[in-house]
């Protein structure tokens, strides 16, 4: 019998992992350039774009540092008539933009990755609200981006098409000068080139409309122009969508294949998606890992060129299987690279268990849609790489030896304890309940939210490796216990509870009858309570909770009515790309939806609703009511401690703070961020918004 040292056992495991995943690390030639591996960060929006170039360069550079072989920009406008208003996209309009993009390419090259740029013209989708130029379209169509501005495009004539080709070519030349290795022609997602391809959009009678070859003409011409512009120095990529069996938003199934067939050998690389953005960008509530496999595989079978496809891939086994099954050549990722910029390196180093897996909540995407830098539920450092110098893997060591007490094991408390442990602090984590994870554990049991438990699981995995962090379950601490525990720093992450009184955006005072036993909160339902008879859910929260509790009760066979003062259920989920799927699902499941109404009273047998516009009231039969309107921070323990400065001093407690939902209820991302920030800044004298800012240049 031989005895193996722990180090050699680890080496053996790493070697086994390395050989199992070796295919992911094979270089691949893409036209004139070669990627070092198969990890490909496809273009994804960042909310940084032309407004925050330094923030952007640092974020993309970190992906390259984390091992991605290719790192691309977001959609990069070729000219002032492709201006997406409040969405901060990239730009290559002129020499100034070139400098900003060169910064991005340089940051990517600094870590040995290839830099890709996605040249873009928005066509009729955009409104040009900043530049105030008329928009251009295949025909005159109203702007479709989510603000639904009252603006229509000008139908492009042949001179416009010639001008567009000239400007696209000029942008490709600037891309080359900026140092990009891969230049995209962007022919999907409803933008200008997709409009030309789609018979539903293109009704032209000239030689750019009608027959398939005609509708493909502009894409072909722009591919040829871009090929010339990059002079064999950069690879030519094309982003294209195939329709699923039931047809797509822009093309029918067969036609999308025929079109692809016409273009199949023109670029050096195909970036393939499905023609249906709510699937491609679907949240984990509705779309699972590798959902586009069949579509991407069909494209791959029709071309000799390398193919990249996305699928919210976080499992290296799935990635290997995708390549081995011939579905694709390159593992495309946007969200998985946001949640874990070091995903490739973790696989390479035999640490796949340490991958911080994307939970598919689409909060990143939502923030681009809101015109601010993206953030991530799993990765609190996303967007803070430049302005706060936060690194997703490294954290400064503690300033001095000290014991920290973290009260509450939800996302805020777990992340605080983990990051403090990483800094080398001794940490005591006390949780009142029998399990860790707080709201994440509870909410991940609601319909569709199972993957959200990854927020807890990744942190538990890291905590298990830390000798300096002690965790105590079933330990609801009171003031005396906090003072007795001998910590020098106390962080309270005690969470929030849903309110019963219906007060929120629409109701300033509690609704009549709110104290009845038959009024239950989402917390009551998550604790297992079930109302009798028909239930009315009153959703003035407008995120996921209203719909999730409706489905929870409906799938248990209860009659459910969902009332909201807005025009659709889950108004805010328009930003997470979930709104239409959620409303469709509720309707399909038989939940009655009453929009544009608020709740004013409940007598045990029926609810009184009022029209949001007229105030006109109506009765709706209901035996129980579940208000989903606001949460109340659990901050009583904080207040007691704060008010006892003598007790704190006598106990040797030097700092006390409350974080997360117990401070200000918000998203899970905000709670994780608060935990991370508290841990990073412990012992440092940092003001609440002590971060670099990008400033406008004053000429
Ligand atoms: P957040 O999102 O801010 O992390 P959560 O509500 O998810 O908030 O988690 C808060 C956690 O704090 C819950 O698991 C709750 O049981 C725990 N908690 C609340 N008060 C105490 C307390 N006094 N002692 C220990 N744990 C507590
Ligand atoms: Fe994934 Fe959510 Fe992070 Fe986006 S915000 S990368 S969907 S975990």
Evaluate the CA torsion angle 392, 394, 399, 405 in order and state its sign. positive
CA 382 to ligand 2: nearest atom: 3
Residue 18 has pLDDT above 80, yes or no: no
- Residue 360 CA to ligand 2 center (angstroms) comes to 5
pTM over 0.85: yes
The minimum-distance atom of ligand 1 relative to the CA of 441 is 7
Question: What is the residue whose two structure tokens read 């953030």?
Answer: 375
Task: Name the closest ligand to CA 416.
Answer: 1
Rounded to an integer, what distance in angstroms lies between the CA atom of residue 73 and that of residue 107? Answer: 12
Residue whose CB lies within 8 A of the most ligand 1 atoms, among 380, 405, 410, for a mutation test: 410
Tell me the pLDDT tens digit for each residue of 363-396.
999 999 999 999 999 999 999 999 999 999 999 9
pLDDT at 698 (0 to 100): 79
Strand pairing category for 182-186 and 154-155:
unpaired
Cβ-contact 304, 276 below 8 angstroms? no
Strand partners, 606: 621
**Ligand 1 atom with least separation from CA of 496:** 6
In short, whether 49's Cβ falls inside 6 Å of ligand 1 is no
Residues contacting ligand 2 via CB (< 6 Å): 335, 338-339, 358-364, 376-378
CA separation, residue 568 to residues 53, 281, 448 (Å)? 36, 20, 20
What pLDDT band is residue 6 in, cutting at 50, 70 and 90? very low
Distance separating alpha carbons of residues 350 and 348, to the nearest angstrom:
6
pLDDT, tens digit, 9 for 90 and up, residues 119-133 = 999 999 999 999 999
Tell me, in angstroms, the distance from the centre of ligand 1 to residue 495's CA: 5
Give the β-pairing of 28-30 and 33-35: antiparallel
- State the fold for domain 16-369: TIM Barrel (3.20.20)
**Which pLDDT tens digit goes with each residue over 647-679?**
999 999 999 999 999 999 999 999 999 999 999
Query: Distance, CA 675 to ligand 1 centroid (Å)?
Result: 12
Report the distance separating Cα 329 and Cα 300, nearest Å.
9
Residue 16 pLDDT? 59
pLDDT band, very low/low/confident/very high, at 15 (cuts 50, 70, 90): low
> In the predicted model, is pLDDT for residue 20 greater than 90?
yes
Interatomic CA distance for residues 169 and 427, integer angstroms = 58
User: Given 191, 365, 543, 638, which residue is catalytic?
Assistant: 191
pLDDT digit string, tens, across residues 465-502: 999 999 999 999 999 999 999 999 999 999 999 999 99
* Contact 664 CB / ligand 1 (< 6 Å): no
Q: Using pLDDT thresholds of 50, 70 and 90, give the confidence band for residue 277.
A: confident
Q: For a substitution probing ligand 1, which of 414, 432, 440 has the most ligand atoms within 8 Å of its CB?
A: 432
pLDDT in tens, 80-109: 999 998 889 999 999 999 999 999 999 999
Residue 438, pLDDT above cutoff 60: yes
Mutate to test the pocket of ligand 1, among 438, 497, 631 (most ligand atoms within 8 A of CB): 438
Residue 305 in this model has a pLDDT that exceeds 70: yes
How far is the centre of ligand 1, averaged over its atoms, from the C-alpha of 431 (Å)? Answer: 7
Atom of ligand 1 nearest to the CA of 413: 4
- Average pLDDT on 558-580 reads 97
Give me ligand 2 centre to Cα 558, in Å: 32
Calculate the alpha carbon distances from 657 to 186, 403, 636, 663, 665 in Å.
48, 15, 13, 9, 15
pLDDT at site 4: 44
What is the distance of C-alpha 24 from the center of its chain? 24
b (16+ CB within 10 A) / e for 242-279: bbbeeebbbbbbebbbebbebbbebbbbbbbbbbbbbb
Confidence of residue 111 (pLDDT cuts 50, 70, 90): very high
DSSP 328: -
9 pLDDT more than 60: no
Question: From the CB of 209, is ligand 1 less than 6 Å away?
Answer: no
C-alpha of residue 163 to centroid of ligand 2, in Å = 39
pLDDT band (50, 70, 90) for residue 3: very low
Six-digit token pair at 135? 């928009």
pLDDT digits (tens, 9 = 90+) for 401-432: 999 999 999 999 999 999 999 999 999 999 99
The hierarchical CATH code for the domain 403-494+636-680 is: 3.40.50.720
Q: Are 670 and 678 in contact (CB under 8 A)?
A: no
> Does residue 291 have a pLDDT over 70?
yes
pLDDT of residue 144: 85
Encoding tokens for residue 131?
Answer: 């530049």
- Residue 598 near residue 613, CB atoms below 8 Å: no
Which listed CATH number (3.20.20.140, 3.30.70.980, 3.30.70.20, 3.50.50.60) goes with 498-632?
A: 3.50.50.60
For ligand 2, atom 6, name the residue with the nearest CA. 335
**pLDDT for residue 693 is more than 80:** yes
What's the CA gap between 639 and 658, in Å, rounded?
10
Mean pLDDT taken over the chain: 95
Using alpha carbons, select from 527, 543, 538, 541 the residue that is nearest to residue 563: 538
Which percentage of the chain shows pLDDT scores above 90?
Answer: 92
190 C-alpha vs ligand 1 centroid, how far in Å?
Answer: 44
Output the pLDDT for position 611: 98
Residue to probe by mutation, ligand 2, list 66, 338, 451, 667, most atoms within 8 Å of CB = 338
The answer for residues whose C-beta is within 8 angstroms of residue 570's C-beta and 6 or more apart is 539, 542, 543, 544, 546, 547, 578, 579, 582, 583
Burial label, 142 (beta-carbon count in 10 A; 0-12, 13-18, 19+): middle
Query: Which residues does 481 contact at the CB level (< 8 Å), separation at least 6?
Result: none
pLDDT at residue 1 in the model: 35
> Helix, strand or coil for residue 115?
strand
**DSSP label at 152?**
B
Q: How far is the CA of 660 from the centre of ligand 1 (A)?
A: 9
Q: Ligand 1 in contact with 248 (CB < 6 A)?
A: no
pLDDT, tens only, 335-346: 999 999 999 999
413 lines ligand 1 (CB under 6 A): yes
Ligand found nearest the CA of 633: 1
What confidence score (pLDDT) does residue 488 get? 97
Cα-to-centroid distance, 672 and ligand 2 (Å): 12
Helices (DSSP H) in 473-602: which residue ranges?
A: 479-484, 522-526, 545-555, 579-588
pLDDT over threshold 90, residue 258: yes
Residue nearest to atom 8 of ligand 2 (CA): 358
Question: Relative to the CA of 312, which ligand 2 atom is closest?
Answer: 1
* Residue minimizing CA distance to atom 20 of ligand 1: 494
Atom of ligand 2 nearest to the CA of 284: 7
For residues 603 and 154, give the distance between their C-alpha atoms in angstroms, rounded to a whole number.
56
Tell me which residue has tokens 């870590």. Answer: 111
- 191 among known catalytic residues: yes
Using a 6 Å cutoff on CB, does residue 439 contact ligand 1? yes
Q: Whose CA is nearest to atom 2 of ligand 2?
A: 361
| Residue range 177-197: mean pLDDT, rounded | 97
Domain ranges of the chain: 16-369, 403-494+636-680, 498-632
**Cα-Cα-Cα-Cα dihedral sign, residues 646, 652, 654, 659:** negative
Pocket test for ligand 1, best of 456, 470, 494, 662 (most atoms within 8 A of CB): 494
What confidence tens digit (pLDDT) does each residue in 572-606 have? Answer: 999 999 999 999 999 999 999 999 999 999 999 99
């Amino acid at each position: 019998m031989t005895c193996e040292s722990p180090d050699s056992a680890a080496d053996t495991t790493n070697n086994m992992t390395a050989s199992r995943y070796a295919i992911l690390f094979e270089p691949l030639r893409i036209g004139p350039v070669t990627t070092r591996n198969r990890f490909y960060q496809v273009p994804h929006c960042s909310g940084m774009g032309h407004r925050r170039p330094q923030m952007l360069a640092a974020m993309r550079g970190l992906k390259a540092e984390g091992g991605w072989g290719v790192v691309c920009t977001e959609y990069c406008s070729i000219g002032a008539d492709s201006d997406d208003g409040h969405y901060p996209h990239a730009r290559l309009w002129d020499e100034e933009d070139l400098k900003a993009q060169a910064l991005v390419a340089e940051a990517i090259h600094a870590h040995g990755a290839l830099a890709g740029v996605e040249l873009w013209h928005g066509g009729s989708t955009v409104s040009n609200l900043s530049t105030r130029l008329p928009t251009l379209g295949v025909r005159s169509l109203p702007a479709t981006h989510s603000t639904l501005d009252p603006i229509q495009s000008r139908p492009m004539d042949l001179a416009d098409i010639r001008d567009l080709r000239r400007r696209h070519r000029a942008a490709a030349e600037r891309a080359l000068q900026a140092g990009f290795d891969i230049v995209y022609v962007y022919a999907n997602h409803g933008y200008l080139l997709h409009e030309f391809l789609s018979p539903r959009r293109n009704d032209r009678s000239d030689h750019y409309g009608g027959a398939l070859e005609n509708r493909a003409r502009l894409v072909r011409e722009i591919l040829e122009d871009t090929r010339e512009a990059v002079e064999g120095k950069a690879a030519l990529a094309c982003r294209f969508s195939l329709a699923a069996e039931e047809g797509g938003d822009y093309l029918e199934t067969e036609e999308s294949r025929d079109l692809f067939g016409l273009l199949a050998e023109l670029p050096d690389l195909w970036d393939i998606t499905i023609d249906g953005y709510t699937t491609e960008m679907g949240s984990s509530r509705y779309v699972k890992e590798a959902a586009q496999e069949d579509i991407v595989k069909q494209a791959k079978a029709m071309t000799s060129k390398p193919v990249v496809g996305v699928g919210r891939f976080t499992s290296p086994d799935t990635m290997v299987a995708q390549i081995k099954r011939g579905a694709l050549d390159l593992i495309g990722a946007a969200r998985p690279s946001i949640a874990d910029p070091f995903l490739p390196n973790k696989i390479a180093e035999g640490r796949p268990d340490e991958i911080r897996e994307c939970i598919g909540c689409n909060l990143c995407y939502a923030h681009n849609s809101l015109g601010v830098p993206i953030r991530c539920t799993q990765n609190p450092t996303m967007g803070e790489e430049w302005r706060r110098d936060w690194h997703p893997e490294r954290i400064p060591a503690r300033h001095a030896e000290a014991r920290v007490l973290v009260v509450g094991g939800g996302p805020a408390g777990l992340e605080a304890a983990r990051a403090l442990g990483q800094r080398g602090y001794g940490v005591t984590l006390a949780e009142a309940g029998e399990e860790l994870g707080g709201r994440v554990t509870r909410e991940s049991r609601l319909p569709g939210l199972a993957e959200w438990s990854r927020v807890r699981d990744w942190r538990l995995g890291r905590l298990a490796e830390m000798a300096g962090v002690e965790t105590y379950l079933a330990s609801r601490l009171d003031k005396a216990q906090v003072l007795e525990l001998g910590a020098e720093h106390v962080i309270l992450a005690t969470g929030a509870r849903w309110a019963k009184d219906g007060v929120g955006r629409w109701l300033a005072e509690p609704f009549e009858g709110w104290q009845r036993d038959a009024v239950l909160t989402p917390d009551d339902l998550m604790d297992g309570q079930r109302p009798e008879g028909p239930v009315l859910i009153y959703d003035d929260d407008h995120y996921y909770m209203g719909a999730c509790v409706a489905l929870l009760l409906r799938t248990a066979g209860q009659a459910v009515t969902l009332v909201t003062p807005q025009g659709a259920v889950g108004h805010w989920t328009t930003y997470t790309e979930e709104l239409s799927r959620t409303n469709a699902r509720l309707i399909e499941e038989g939940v009655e939806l009453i929009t544009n109404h608020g709740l004013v009273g409940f007598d045990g047998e029926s609810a009184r609703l009022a029209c949001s516009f007229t105030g006109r009231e109506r009765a709706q039969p209901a035996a129980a009511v579940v208000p989903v309107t606001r949460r109340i921070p659990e901050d009583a323990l904080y207040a007691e401690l704060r008010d006892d400065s003598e007790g704190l001093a006598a106990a040797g407690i030097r700092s006390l703070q409350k974080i997360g939902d117990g401070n200000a209820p918000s998203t899970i991302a905000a709670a994780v961020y608060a935990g991370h920030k508290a841990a990073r800044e412990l012992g440092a004298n940092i003001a609440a918004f002590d971060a670099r800012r990008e400033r406008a240049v004053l000429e």
